[in-house]
Amino acid sequence: MIRVLVVDDQIGARRSLALLLENAGIETAQAADGVEALRVLQEDSFDVVISDLRMVNMTGVELLKAIKSRDLDLPFILITAYGSIDSAVEVMRCGAFDYVTKPFKEKDIVEKIRNAYEHRHGAPVSVVELDRAVAKEKEETVSEIVAGAAMHAVENRLDRVARTDLSVLISGETGTGKSRYARQIHNLSNRASRRFVSINCASLPEQLLESELFGHTKGSFTGATQNRVGLFAEADGGSIFFDEVDTLSHGMQAKLLSVLQDREIRPVGSNRPRKIDVRVISAANRDLETLIAKGDFRADLFYRLNGIRINLPPLRERGDDLRVLVDRLLATYVKRHQKGTLTITPAALDLVLSYHYPGNIRQLESFVEQMVVFVAPNGVIDVDALPEELLASGQSAPVGHQLNLGHSERAMIEAALAGEGRLSDVAKKLGIGRTTLWRKIRQHNIQRAPSSRGAGHAGFPPKSTH
């Protein structure tokens, strides 16, 4: 089992992180400051140290330097506030394995711990060592990947793609699940027994990105006190995932292209190239072809990354998947928060299904967890248990752009149908998804009289003959 030392002078934050890790199947010990952490490390052994940056008596950077003077190979992960890039750069140059910014998600910190463990021991973490974490990861992956008919084509394509060695470019809006699909591709491939290394190109400071990807030699720059293996070398034989690859600078685009062409890397400060065998999976929030037209992305790099394209549709275009995902997420968070049987009222469900979810599945996950946390004692999720964003969308939107409940809903739909010809245009005018509109037309048994635009045109329900 992985053993982690959690260091933080805030008792609440320290205990919360320790509990989070223990729920993921990771054994933890706690230290209230850097001094206590050094004492604990003298008495016991750990696979990873996770420390807050700002602490009394000894800062996270000072603790890192003290640990590295005793054990160069012990992975150290820093927790810092969002935006503290200068501090992150300093600790990475002092030999930290990685850093994470607050607030962070459980899956992110578990992934970093997994990578740190594999880096220290030179072998992937077994399912036995992370059984609960792996089971939880699969459970979360199911909530995104296993859904309704709208995603079957994507899933079938993913299965076929995974068994090749072609590079894969995953496109889609923020929150559509690109990182989990990337890991799914790796897990289904013949590289599954080797490392899956993930890097967010937008989160890592530009001045550290080259060193992190290709590694560096001791003395190659100020603070390089030892040789460091880069992420490409760690992923050798496995897969490397570049998230938000559209944020790479022109300089890093050129260096990445060189690696993909030559299949070799050169650590910073070294003249000796190293051959690598890595499958590249990348993801972009923005359309790369549009960026190419603007001169912001290299066309030759795009063609290297775009071996096979998988486009993930936004949640608002996934039809009945939304209801399937709501049910699955409810079950997941009921179990996590140890709630009993829950039910959701029709009024609350209507608002949940009618929302447009600009943050896609990630936003839906957050909404459903809030609903479970704030459920009434009787186990009924009503409108008052919904997140504020959902309530605001149902109460403050201008007339003609948001559905209301009851009779006004039917009247508004009928009015919109009378003025528009295509179902997609009607849905856009009302501010809801096309499938949601179809469901509501059937729910209210709304009929549309023939018009010059054509009854039943573009997916309208045929007029009843009864």
3-state secondary structure 329-349: HHHHHHHHCCCCCCEECHHHH
Mean pLDDT rounded to a whole number for the chain? 78
Of the three residues 278, 295, 313, the one that is the final residue of a domain is 313
Residue 432 pLDDT greater than 70, yes or no: no
Residue pLDDT, tens place only, 181-233: 898 899 899 998 888 888 888 877 776 777 778 887 776 666 666 677 788 88
pLDDT confidence tier of residue 398, bands split at 50, 70 and 90: very low
Q: Could you tell me which of 37, 72, 34, 75 has the C-alpha nearest to residue 53?
A: 34
pLDDT: is 460 or 8 the higher one?
A: 8
Helix (H) / strand (E) element for 198: namely strand 196-200
pLDDT confidence tier of residue 430, bands split at 50, 70 and 90: low
Q: Could you tell me which of 240, 245, 232 has the C-alpha nearest to residue 302?
A: 245
Residue pLDDT, tens place only, 67-122: 988 887 899 998 876 545 556 666 677 778 888 877 677 777 888 888 888 777 76
pLDDT confidence tier of residue 39, bands split at 50, 70 and 90: very high
The CATH code of the domain that includes 248 is 3.40.50.300
Residue 319 pLDDT greater than 60, yes or no: yes
Q: Is residue 139 part of a domain?
A: no
Distance of CA 409 to the CA centre of its chain: 35
Q: Could you tell me which of 13, 7, 103 has the C-alpha nearest to residue 64?
A: 7
Residue 354 pLDDT greater than 90, yes or no: no
Q: Is residue 261 part of a domain?
A: yes
Percent of the chain surpassing pLDDT 90: 24
Instruction: Output the 3-class SS for 216-283.
Output: ECCCCCCCCCCCECCHHHHCCCCEEEEECHHHCCHHHHHHHHHHHHHCEECCECCCCCEECCCEEEEE
Residue 401 pLDDT greater than 60, yes or no: no
Q: What is the DSSP string of 274-335?
A: EE---EEEEEESS-HHHHHHTTSS-HHHHHHH-SEEEEPPPGGGSTTHHHHHHHHHHHHHHH
What pLDDT is recorded for position 291? 95
Q: 268 and 375 share a domain?
A: no
What pLDDT is recorded for position 221? 64
Residue 461 pLDDT greater than 80, yes or no: no
What is the rounded average pLDDT of the residues 278-299? 94
| 372: its two tokens | 């479970």
What is the rounded average pLDDT of the residues 429-457? 61
Q: 169 and 241 share a domain?
A: yes
pLDDT confidence tier of residue 246, bands split at 50, 70 and 90: very high
- Tell me which range, 199-208, 260-269, 280-289, 309-318, is most confidently predicted by mean pLDDT: 280-289
Angle, to 10 degrees, between the axis of helix 131-145 and the axis of helix 360-373? 110
What is the rounded average pLDDT of the residues 318-345? 86
Q: 219 and 309 share a domain?
A: yes
| Burial category of 317 from C-beta neighbours within 10 Å (exposed 0-12, middle 13-18, buried 19 and up) | exposed
Q: Is residue 44 part of a domain?
A: yes
Which domain does 294 fall in, by range?
Answer: 147-313
What pLDDT is recorded for position 277? 93
Q: 162 and 233 share a domain?
A: yes
Q: Could you tell me which of 203, 161, 196 has the C-alpha nearest to residue 180?
A: 196
Of the three residues 313, 336, 361, the one that is the final residue of a domain is 313
Pairing mode, strands 264-265 and 274-275: antiparallel
Residue pLDDT, tens place only, 119-144: 777 654 443 334 344 444 444 444 44
Residue 407 pLDDT greater than 50, yes or no: no
Q: 189 and 276 share a domain?
A: yes
Q: Is residue 6 part of a domain?
A: yes
Q: Is residue 402 part of a domain?
A: no
pLDDT confidence tier of residue 272, bands split at 50, 70 and 90: confident
What's the pTM?
A: 0.60
DSSP letter (8 states) at residue 358: T
CA–CA distance, 108 with 218 (Å, rounded to integer): 29
pLDDT: is 21 or 153 the higher one?
A: 21
Residues with Cβ within 8 Å of residue 36, at least 6 apart in sequence = 7
What is the rounded average pLDDT of the residues 6-20? 86
Q: Is residue 464 part of a domain?
A: no
Q: 13 and 124 share a domain?
A: yes
Q: Is residue 58 part of a domain?
A: yes
The answer to which of 63-72, 227-236, 391-400, 437-446 has the lowest mean pLDDT is 391-400
Residue 176 pLDDT greater than 90, yes or no: no
| Count of domains observed in the chain | 4
Decide: 234 and 242 in contact? Cβ < 8 Å.
Answer: no
